[in-house]
Amino acid sequence: MNPIKAQYDERGGAPHKLIKAVPFDKPEPGAGEVLVELLAAPINPSDLLTLTGDYGVLPDLPAIGGNEGVGKVTELGAEVNELEVGQTVLLPIGCGTWRSHLVLPAKDLIALPGQADPLQLAMLTINPPTAALLLSEVVDLAPGDWVIQNAANSAVGGYLVQLAAERGLKTVNVVRRESAVESVKQLGAELVLVDGPDLAERVAEATGQAKIRLAIDAVGGAATDRLAACLTGGATVANYGMMSGESCQLSPAHLIFRGIKLTGFWLASWFEQSSPADQQQLFGDLIGKIAAGKLSAPVAATYPLSEVSEALRAASRGERDGKILLTAE
């Protein structure tokens, strides 16, 4: 196939109108490099925010979209001994993965199990570690403890349901529409509630007045305060997104009189502060779970790179159960 890349020259409020598939010359790997053909790359909320200019880190323009994905090694440059042609590899985070061909340093690539589903492996780098770290890095949890999260039908939310169950944690899973309830239950969630002003009362009744010490918020706005109302005194709300487009709201009654804490989580900051050994351990564990079929996310649709504009339009729609991914063909 002729090489193509999804490129944008400006940022703005309609990402699908700003990005287009453009041809480019097939690159050649140099010493220590390999040529990789794209297998699959997801479209994440952070990708959309990057295109609108609202993300925490923005690449120089013009830029190629995509922050994660997997590919297949097709050519080896000189002095490359650790990889083989045909191997599936994890693409480095933030390398502009929405392109059919990439030349990358061999040392920056992680070999993946060839028998595993490339669509599931393509979603490995951002959402699964975010879910895992939200459960391990914010509050010290033990089997039997409760966790409440909103946006439970999101990719992070689905991974969190599965990882929490494996650890023996109980989850209250909050969604914003009734039509999303069933898809969360299909991932193994037993308690799924639709958000609303009486959320705290319904959570207390459903959990037997459980003392919940961690809430995970991806919505922001008034939804943050509704999660806080479900928590025991001194508990923590960890925010990692703003699907509502609004700043987190937390009432003085929760902050002052109940000692509720609000903190933020950004995976990029964890990467900066963690050791290579910690990163290797985390990804090794997640790769094993995905390869074994123990950890997965629903896929709504796949689009070829040539249809990146339509793919972005689909990814921007709110009522969607599953991830949109791009493939080379």
pLDDT values of the chain reduced to their tens digit, one per residue, 329 residues: 789 999 999 998 888 889 999 999 999 999 999 999 999 999 998 899 899 998 888 999 999 999 999 999 999 999 999 899 999 999 998 899 999 999 999 999 999 988 889 999 999 999 999 999 999 999 999 999 999 999 999 999 999 999 999 999 999 999 999 999 999 999 899 999 999 999 999 999 999 999 999 999 999 999 999 999 999 999 999 999 988 989 999 999 999 999 999 999 999 999 999 998 999 999 999 999 999 999 999 999 999 999 999 999 999 886 677 899 999 98
User: Which fold, 4-123+297-327?
Assistant: Quinone Oxidoreductase; Chain A, domain 1 (3.90.180)
Q: Residues 33, 276, 278, 322: is their CA dihedral positive or negative?
A: negative
User: Would you state the pLDDT for residue 317?
Assistant: 82
The per-residue pLDDT for 57 is 85
Q: Degrees (nearest 5) of the Cα angle 173, 213, 191?
A: 20
Distance CA(178)–CA(110), nearest Å, equals: 40
Q: Which of 8, 55, 159, 303 is catalytic?
A: 55
Q: What distance in Å separates the CA atoms of residue 217 and residue 172, rounded to the nearest whole number?
A: 12
Query: What phi-psi label fits residue 69: left (phi over 0), alpha (psi between -120 and 50 degrees) or beta?
Result: left
User: CATH 3.40.50.720: which residues of the chain?
Assistant: 127-268
Which alpha helices (DSSP H) does the chain contain, by range?
15-18, 45-52, 118-122, 127-136, 155-166, 181-185, 199-207, 222-228, 252, 267-273, 276-291, 308-316
> CA–CA separation, 44 vs 156, rounded Å?
10
The radius of gyration computed from the CA coordinates of the chain, to the nearest angstrom, equals: 20
Tally the C-alpha atoms within 13 A of residue 175's C-alpha that lie toward its C-beta.
25
pLDDT at 45: 87
| DSSP one-letter string for 6-42 | EEESS--S-HHHHEEEEE-PPP---TTEEEEEEEEEE
State the span(s) of the chain assigned CATH 3.90.180.10: 4-123+297-327
User: Would you call 55 a catalytic residue per the annotation?
Assistant: yes
Give the model's pLDDT for residue 191: 97
Q: Is 94 helix (H, G, I), strand (E, B) or coil?
A: coil
Phi, psi of 307 (to 5 degrees): -115, 35
- Asked whether 116 and 70 are in contact (CB, 8 A), the reply is no
What is the Cβ-side half-sphere exposure of residue 12, based on CA atoms within 13 angstroms?
A: 8
Residue 181: the pLDDT is: 95
Fold of 127-268: Rossmann fold (3.40.50)
Secondary structure letter of residue 139 according to DSSP: S
50 to 4, 45, 144, 239, 266: CA distances (angstroms): 20, 9, 38, 19, 15
